[in-house]
Copies of this chain bind each other. A is one copy, B any other.
Amino acid sequence: MKEIVPFELSSEFRDHFQQALNEHDNAAILRSLEDVNAADITTLLYEFSSAESKYVLDLLPRETRAEIIRNLDSDTRKAFLKVYEPAELTELINLLDSDDAADLLNELPIKTSEEVIGLLDPEVRSQVIDLLRYDENVAGGLMAKELIKALDTWTVVQCVDEIRKQAENVPKFYAVWVVDASDRLLGRVALQKLILTDPRTLVKDILDEDDVVSVETYMSDREVAEVMKKYDLESVPVVNVQGQLVGRITIDDVVDVISEQAEEERQLMSGITEDVEEDDSVWKNTRARLPWLLVGIVGGMMSAKFMGLFEDELARITAIAFFVPLIQATGGNVGIQSSSVVVQSLANPGFVEDGLWRRLAKVLSVALLNGLFLSAIVLGVNLLIYGTQPLSFIVSLALFSVVLFASFIGTLTPLILNRFGFNPALASGPFITTINDLLGLTIYFLTIQALL
């Protein structure tokens, strides 16, 4: 076996390859790619320009070429495909599975895409046109049309014949989907059952109709991911509103959905507004970061304005200012923690929703405990360092209130965002920090005004 240990792209390999490319040394290029898997060639291409990448791909067999382009991430591919002619694109797309073909067409300028669709093989064309109707974030946009379909009235032999016919179009499948005469999904037959059953048996007699989970075309990609994860499915049939089988989604597409979701959430949590990577341009990186930094700046300027209202107190007792960072940092940390726990439970639904009040009561209990603990520590330290000044008590009292309020806001914000259809993870980032900074400051200075 040609054992494939995960390929590591060394800088030596890259430099060597670059040299071969510069010299247009086709033999050297092909030799160095000989033992490299398509998925790894994709990774390699990220290191080269579109023109260079195309030069390499044109040397490879067209199936490998299609596979490599399929693996590229969407942004890179969009840029890369610009160096291709419509005729070349057509050849490529004819080789792809329908779901990948539709994705690729979506990345082309509309004029090119129309031209390519016109040139496609008729069968591919009709499949692709059917898929292009769907938004890319729903089951219809994730599914592929290639699947093995059998009528319930067929025998196992007929089924195997159908597999033989389709085997070239559907390289990977784990089950045959069984439909009735009007194309309505009835159930599935696992491949191993076909192998083990007498060839004259009717499909309807070995049909597994229990536990066949299907999804509808309009279901969101997140829901599809949840369903496949929950029921441990390697592929799921997609039906339209009439219950007719229209496609299938495989687990590898869903793995991508899950990974993208995690990535998106990380970006929301860290205040990055665009899908940006370290090796994107300086300008793109700057642009992705500015919006939330600006929100922070606005918050900071409002804090400055607000503290200005207490100029007299500050002038009288400078030490008031010393504890502003303490109050704000704690408010921020508590807020993020609380919102993150809520975001997590919103992302793993399924259990009976606790009522809002029960939820808040619990959050407040946790906050009460944390608040008591933290303010006692701070009080102890302050009494030790600064002696029994009124300010020591005020700081701890304000800290306690900040923990309570920040928990409350941290819990409520994602719930509200979720209710209004926004991604609740938005509430785990600079948004909640900025709100809690202002909140903390307000509580602190109001306590001072009331008690000092």
**Residues of B with C-beta under 8 A to A345:** 277-279
User: Which of chain A's residues 69-103 have a Cβ closer than 8 Å to chain B?
Assistant: none
Contact B293 A333 (CB under 8 A): yes
Nearest neighbor of A233 in chain B, beta-carbon distance? B252
**Residues of B with C-beta under 8 A to A305:** 322, 385
A231-263 interface bits toward B, Cβ cutoff 8 Å, 1 = contact, 0 = none? 111100000000100000011101110110111
Select A43's contact among B227, B350, B385, beta carbons within 8 Å.
B350
Q: Report how far A336 CA is from B172 CA in the complex, Å.
A: 42
Contact A340 B3 (CB under 8 A): no
Interface segment among A111-119, A130-138, A190-198: the answer is: A190-198
**Residues of B with C-beta under 8 A to A223:** 6
**Residues of B with C-beta under 8 A to A373:** 286, 290
A413 within 8 A of B: no
Nearest neighbor of A6 in chain B, beta-carbon distance? B227
**Contacts A3-B243, A210-B2, A314-B318; is A289 near B195 (CB within 8 Å)?**
no
What's the least CB distance linking A193 to chain B, in Å? 9
What's the least CB distance linking A226 to chain B, in Å? 7
User: Which of chain A's residues 158-204 have a Cβ closer than 8 Å to chain B?
Assistant: 160, 163-164, 167, 172-174, 185-187, 190-192, 194-196
A46 within 8 A of B: yes
Contact A286 B39 (CB under 8 A): no
A303 within 8 A of B: yes
Q: Report how far A377 CA is from B291 CA in the complex, Å.
A: 13
Nearest neighbor of A174 in chain B, beta-carbon distance? B174
This chain's copy number in the assembly: 2
Contact A323 B304 (CB under 8 A): yes
Q: Report how far A270 CA is from B47 CA in the complex, Å.
A: 34
Select A370's contact among B227, B266, B289, B339, beta carbons within 8 Å.
B289
**Residues of B with C-beta under 8 A to A214:** 1, 3-4
**Residues of B with C-beta under 8 A to A228:** 255
Interface segment among A19-27, A55-63, A428-436: the answer is: A428-436
A14 within 8 A of B: yes
A307 within 8 A of B: yes
* A residues in contact (CB < 8 Å) with B: 1-4, 6, 9-11, 14, 37, 39, 43, 46-47, 160, 163-164, 167, 172-174, 185-187, 190-192, 194-196, 209-214, 223, 226-234, 243, 250-252, 254-256, 258-259, 261-263, 265-267, 269-272, 276-279, 282-283, 285-286, 289-290, 292-294, 296-297, 299-301, 303-305, 307-308, 311, 314-315, 318-330, 332-334, 336-337, 339-345, 348, 350-354, 359, 362, 365-366, 369-370, 373-374, 377-378, 381, 385, 428, 430, 433-434, 437, 441
Closest 7 CB pairs of A and B: A300-B326, A270-B340, A262-B262, A321-B321, A303-B325, A304-B322, A278-B345
A/B interface sample: 16 pairs, CB < 8 A: A2-B210, A37-B231, A39-B230, A195-B195, A232-B252, A234-B250, A234-B251, A258-B262, A266-B269, A277-B341, A278-B344, A290-B370, A294-B377, A296-B333, A300-B378, A307-B321
